[in-house]
Amino acid sequence: MCRLGLLFLFAAIAVLGQEIPSSTRDEYPFDEWLKGKDNGHIHWAMRVLPPSLSLYQRLDLSIWIDVNASEFVKRPKPGQIRFLLEIRDRDRVTYRKHQSFVLKKQQNPSDLSRLRFREHACINPGDYEVTGIVYDADSKEHVVKREKLHVPGIHHDALRAAWDGVPNVEFSSCSPANSSPLSLALKTEKPVRIEVVVNTAVNRNKIGASALPLVSKLISWLQVISELRVENGSMNVTALDLERRKIAFTQDNVDRLNLRGITASLRENDPYKVDIHALENYLDDVQFFVAQIQRVLERNQSSEGERVLIVLSGPRTFPRGEDMRSIEEIPDPDRRVFYIRVHNVSFDTSNSDSLEHTLRPLHPRLFDVMTAEEFRRALGSIIKEVSQDVY
């Protein structure tokens, strides 16, 4: 395919799928089609990829559908070609989704070789049958394709019960905002108060292509932590912007994270833009962090029972001249501190992390994580350690 054709192809991917209104879904005799034979000659292919663990701690299934562009030349009406997807689990429970294929007006199928569409689903371990049907809404032609799918569980899973009660299949991006909540029960004999502090800013000297993926990890994993069901206590969340030395977001007694609020704060605190006043006083970044951690500890110390501090941040290095005084330790036998240090690349021990230095008097349990699997193990360890008096 020529370069121009490739450009058309990838532009088409972004707009190809439009969900069909539920009122029209009953028109498809899905079960009859599965029992009978194809009645058309629509050229298309389906590829089911092995699921991978997403940042949101769900297994993310990708299904690629390739349709020959010539089929759209024959069927020029918008939405004339439709795609129907069924995933059937071992208990014969079916999960279905219907999509229409629509191109932008300026796109010409005759310039393309094929059109590609990707469907997502969150899926639990088990055995499945995946069925795709491409259907011409005018001629009523349809072509069926099927594949068997085995989804293995996670070896030595640190969060074995996380998918209990979650549907085996959900057609979504797997984020907590549009999927069923994970089953992350935190059971303790004593009352527990959890303070989560996340640093959403990245090093000003390392802002670039790696900045947004790191922030995406931090916010995704903050959402997962916020799904902890603290049965005998509460959770508070504080988001810090160390570049501007301000509290970007707070939420107390979290039941469901205010994603809209924290997203708005990220838009306001664009990592690519730092105002002149923030740059003037950049040598105060460390002590702002120290002051906020001490504020959280002092507030937490007044609560009864066990106190837990979870710090979620990328590694931070500060220039010479910064005031690197550490946090003053507040003696507290009922306090546990965890530092989840998030990386975009493998951790290099030669690189210093100033935040680790400031937290050292609190004797934090440090987790260096880069992948979804590593974060899953870290969170599982935290849950086990905090709740170990129950088990």
The neighbouring-strand residues paired with 122 are 60, 170
Whether residues 283 and 233 share a domain: the answer is: yes
* Residue 322 pLDDT class (50, 70, 90 cuts): low
Residues 6 or more apart from 109 whose CB is under 8 A from it? Answer: 69, 70, 72, 73, 76, 103, 115
Q: Do 289 and 175 form a contact (C-beta atoms < 8 A)? A: no
Whether residues 29 and 151 share a domain: the answer is: yes
The neighbouring-strand residues paired with 309 are 195, 337
Task: Output the average pLDDT for the chain.
Answer: 83
- The predicted-structure confidence for 236-267, as pLDDT tens digits, reads as follows 999 998 888 889 999 999 988 998 898 888 77
pLDDT of residue 16: 46
- The predicted-structure confidence for 204-216, as pLDDT tens digits, reads as follows 555 444 566 888 8
Residues 326, 339: Cα–Cα separation, whole Å = 15
Q: What is the CATH number of the domain that holds 122?
A: 2.60.40.2550
Domain total of the chain: 2
pTM, whole model, 2 decimals?
Answer: 0.85
pLDDT of residue 30: 87
- The predicted-structure confidence for 276-298, as pLDDT tens digits, reads as follows 455 455 556 788 888 999 999 88
Whether residues 141 and 252 share a domain: the answer is: no
Whether residues 13 and 150 share a domain: the answer is: yes
Whether residues 201 and 292 share a domain: the answer is: yes
Whether residues 312 and 365 share a domain: the answer is: yes
Please determine, for residue 97, whether its predicted confidence score (pLDDT) is greater than 50: yes
- Please indicate, yes or no, if residue 126 is contained in any of the structural domains: yes
- Please indicate, yes or no, if residue 86 is contained in any of the structural domains: yes
Higher-pLDDT residue of 177 and 324 is 177
Q: Do 313 and 218 form a contact (C-beta atoms < 8 A)? A: yes
Higher-pLDDT residue of 272 and 84 is 84
> Which two three-digit tokens encode residue 381?
């360890």
- Minimal CA–CA distance to 170: which of 157, 154, 156, 182? 182
Whether residues 112 and 151 share a domain: the answer is: yes
Please determine, for residue 106, whether its predicted confidence score (pLDDT) is greater than 70: no
DSSP assignment string, 236-257: EEEEEETTTTEEEEEESS-SS-
Please determine, for residue 175, whether its predicted confidence score (pLDDT) is greater than 80: yes
> Which two three-digit tokens encode residue 231?
């049965």
- Please indicate, yes or no, if residue 175 is contained in any of the structural domains: no
- Please indicate, yes or no, if residue 179 is contained in any of the structural domains: no
What is the percent of the chain where pLDDT is above 70? 81
pLDDT of residue 226: 95
Print the domain residue range for 275.
184-386
Q: What is the CATH number of the domain that holds 278?
A: 3.40.50
Whether residues 255 and 139 share a domain: the answer is: no
* Residue 26 pLDDT class (50, 70, 90 cuts): low
- Please indicate, yes or no, if residue 100 is contained in any of the structural domains: yes
- Please indicate, yes or no, if residue 103 is contained in any of the structural domains: yes
Whether residues 231 and 371 share a domain: the answer is: yes
The torsion defined by the Cα of 67, 73, 79 and 85, in degrees rounded to 10, comes to -20
Whether residues 201 and 144 share a domain: the answer is: no
pLDDT of residue 147: 96
Domain boundary among 110, 143, 170: 170
Whether residues 148 and 211 share a domain: the answer is: no
Q: Do 310 and 194 form a contact (C-beta atoms < 8 A)? A: yes
Whether residues 19 and 124 share a domain: the answer is: yes
- Please indicate, yes or no, if residue 372 is contained in any of the structural domains: yes
Domain boundary among 170, 205, 230: 170
* Residue 24 pLDDT class (50, 70, 90 cuts): very low
Mean pLDDT across the stretch 212-223?
89
